[in-house]
Amino acid sequence: MDARSFLTIKQAATKYQAFSEGSLRWLWFNGDKNGFASCVRKVGKKILIDEPLFVAWIESGTVTK
């Protein structure tokens, strides 16, 4: 089984200080346009960021507004 590492928006903002909670929420709301949707999972009301996919998304260089 593949063990994934998931972070809440708050945890991701703390760990990756280049991104504020507000900017992560903006990225999530616009995820279909900027590709961020590929690294986010929603479980009930909780928004979880798949950390390995988030890092890959940043490193891909395709981060757009």
Give the CATH number, domain containing residue 14: 3.90.105
3-state secondary structure of 35: coil
Specify the higher pLDDT residue, 24 or 62: 24
Distance between CA atoms of 54 and 40, rounded to whole angstroms?
8
> What residue numbers bound the domain in which 41 lies?
6-59
Q: In what order do the strands lie in the sheet with 46-50?
A: 6-8, 46-50, 40-43
Residue range 11-58, pLDDT digits in tens: 999 999 999 999 999 999 999 999 999 999 999 999 999 999 999 999
Q: 28: burial class by Cβ within 10 Å (0-12, 13-18, 19+)?
A: middle
Question: Would 65 be classed as within a structural domain?
Answer: no
Is residue 30 in a domain?
yes
Q: Is residue 1 part of a domain?
A: no
Residue 15 lies in a domain: yes
Q: pTM of the predicted model, to two decimals? A: 0.84
Residue 46 forms part of a structural domain: yes
